[in-house]
Chain A
Amino acid sequence: MEERTLELLTRQGITRGAVEELSRLNDEPEWLRKMRLLAWSIYESSPVPPWKRIDLSSIHLDELTAFAPGEKPVADVAVANSIFSGDEARGGRIVQTNSVVDETLGSPLDPSLSMKGVVFTSLEKAAATHPEMVRKHLFVDAVKLTENRFVAMNGALWGGGMFLYVPPFTEITSPLQYTLIAAQSGAALFPHLLIIVGEGSSLTFVDQSATIGADGPALASQVVEIFANPGAQVNYVSVQEFSRTAKNFALKRAILSRDSRMIWTEIGVGSKVSRVSAEAILRDPGSEVQLLGLYFGQGEQRLEYDTLQLHAAPHTKSDLLYKGALREKAHSVFNGLIRVERGAQRTDAYQANRNLLLSNTSRADSLPTLEIEANDVRCTHGATVGPIDPDQLFYLLARGIERETAEKLLVLGFYEAVLQKIPLEELREAIRNYIERELE
Chain B
Amino acid sequence: MANALNFNRREGYLEKYGFHDKNSYVYRTEKGVSSRIVEEISGLKGEPEWMRNFRLRSYGIFEKKSMPGWGADLSGLRFDDLYYYVKPSDKKGRNWDEVPEKVKLTFERLGIPEAERKYLAGVEAQYDSESVYSSLKGIWEKLGVIFCSTDEALKKYPDIVRQYFGTVIPPGDNKFAALNSAVWSGGSFIYVPAGVKVEIPLQAYFRINAESAGQFERTLIIAEPGSFVHYVEGCTAPVYSTNSLHSAVVEIVVKEGARVRYTSIQNWSDNVYNLVTKRAFAYKDATMEWLDGNLGSKVTMKYPSIYLMEKGARGEVLSIAYAGNGQHQDAGGKAVHIAPYTSSRIVSKSISKGTGRSSYRGLVHVRKGAHHVKSKVRCDALLLDDRARSDTYPVMEINEDEVDIGHEATVSKVGDEQLFYLTSRGLTEEEATAVIVSGFIEPIVKQLPMEYAIELNRLIELEMEGSVG
Residues of chain A having any CB pair with chain B under 8 Å: 342-343, 345, 355, 357-360, 362-387
Contacts and interface: CB of A to CB of B under 8 A. Distances in A.
B47 interface: no
- Secondary structure at chain B's binding surface: helix, strand, loop or mixed? strand
Contact of A387 (B396, B402, B407, B409): B402
A381 B392 contact: yes
Contacts of A358: 401
A404 B433 CA distance: 55
Contacts of B108: none
Contact of B395 (A363, A367, A382): A367
B398 A360 contact: no
A367 B403 CA distance: 17
Contact of B390 (A367, A372, A387): A372
A378 B403 CA distance: 30
Contacts of B393: 367, 369
Interface in B348-398: 368, 371, 381, 383-398
Contact of B389 (A343, A355, A373): A373
A357 B389 CA distance: 35
Given A367-B393, A382-B406, A384-B407, A375 B386 contact: yes
B401 A360 contact: yes
Given A367-B395, A371-B391, A372-B383, A387 B411 contact: no
Given A360-B371, A378-B412, A369 B407 contact: no
B309 to A, nearest CB: 20
A383 B406 contact: yes
A10 to B, nearest CB: 42
6 contacts: A355-B398, A357-B400, A366-B395, A371-B390, A372-B391, A380-B410
Nearest 8 interchain pairs by C-beta: A357-B401, A375-B383, A370-B392, A379-B411, A366-B396, A385-B405, A385-B398, A375-B413
A375 B401 contact: no
Nearest to B361: A369
A188 to B, nearest CB: 30
A360 B369 CA distance: 8
A301 B430 CA distance: 55
Nearest to B69: A50
B408 interface: yes
B106 to A, nearest CB: 27
A342 B404 contact: no
Interface of B: 368, 371, 381, 383-413
Name, among A367, A370, A373, the residue most crowded by chain B CB atoms within 10 Å (CB to CB). Answer: A370
Name, among B392, B400, B401, B406, the residue most crowded by chain A CB atoms within 10 Å (CB to CB). Answer: B401
Given A369-B392, A387-B402, A375 B407 contact: no
B395 A377 contact: no
Contact of B391 (A360, A362, A370): A370
A345 B411 CA distance: 13
A368 B407 contact: yes
Nearest to A345: B386
Nearest to B383: A375
Given A366-B395, A369-B394, 14 more contacts: A342-B387, A355-B398, A360-B401, A368-B392, A369-B392, A369-B393, A370-B411, A372-B390, A374-B383, A376-B386, A377-B413, A379-B411, A380-B409, A386-B404
Nearest to A386: B404
A386 B412 contact: no
A376 B406 CA distance: 26
A17 B286 CA distance: 65
A375 B394 contact: no
A229 to B, nearest CB: 29
A365 B402 CA distance: 15
Nearest to B396: A366
B386 A343 contact: yes
A372 B411 contact: yes
Contacts of B381: 370, 372
- Secondary structure at chain A's binding surface: helix, strand, loop or mixed? strand
Nearest to A374: B386
B366 to A, nearest CB: 8
Contacts of A373: 387-389
B413 A386 contact: no
B107 to A, nearest CB: 32
Nearest to A331: B399
Contact of B413 (A368, A376, A384): A376
B394 A360 contact: no
Contact of A363 (B392, B399, B412): B399
A249 B398 CA distance: 23
A335 to B, nearest CB: 9
A366 B407 contact: yes
A393 to B, nearest CB: 12
Contacts of B409: 368, 370, 380-382
Contacts of B400: 357, 360
Contacts of A384: 405-407
Contact of A360 (B392, B402, B411): B402
Contact of B398 (A363, A375, A377, A380): A363
Contacts of A387: 401-403
Contacts of A381: 392, 407-409
B322 to A, nearest CB: 15
A268 to B, nearest CB: 19
Contacts of B371: 360
Contacts of B407: 366, 368, 381-384
Contact of B396 (A359, A362, A385): A385
Nearest to A347: B411
Contacts of A357: 398, 400-401, 403
Contacts of A362: 401
A359 B384 CA distance: 45
Contacts of A368: 392, 394, 407, 409
A377 B383 contact: yes
A353 to B, nearest CB: 9
Nearest to B412: A378
B362 to A, nearest CB: 10
B401 A359 contact: yes
Given A371-B389, A373-B389, A386 B405 contact: yes
A372 B401 contact: no
B385 A375 contact: yes
A345 B388 CA distance: 12
A379 B396 CA distance: 19
Name, among A368, A375, A377, the residue most crowded by chain B CB atoms within 10 Å (CB to CB). Answer: A375
A377 B411 contact: yes
B408 to A, nearest CB: 4
Contacts of A386: 401, 403-405
A359 B385 CA distance: 46
B146 to A, nearest CB: 42
Contacts of B411: 370, 372, 377-380
A359 B401 CA distance: 6
Nearest to B402: A387
A58 B421 CA distance: 61
B158 to A, nearest CB: 41
Contacts of B394: 366-369, 383
Contacts of B402: 360, 387
Contacts of A374: 383, 386
B275 to A, nearest CB: 21
Contact of A380 (B384, B399, B408): B408
B412 A379 contact: yes
A380 B408 CA distance: 7
Nearest to B353: A375
B408 A375 contact: no
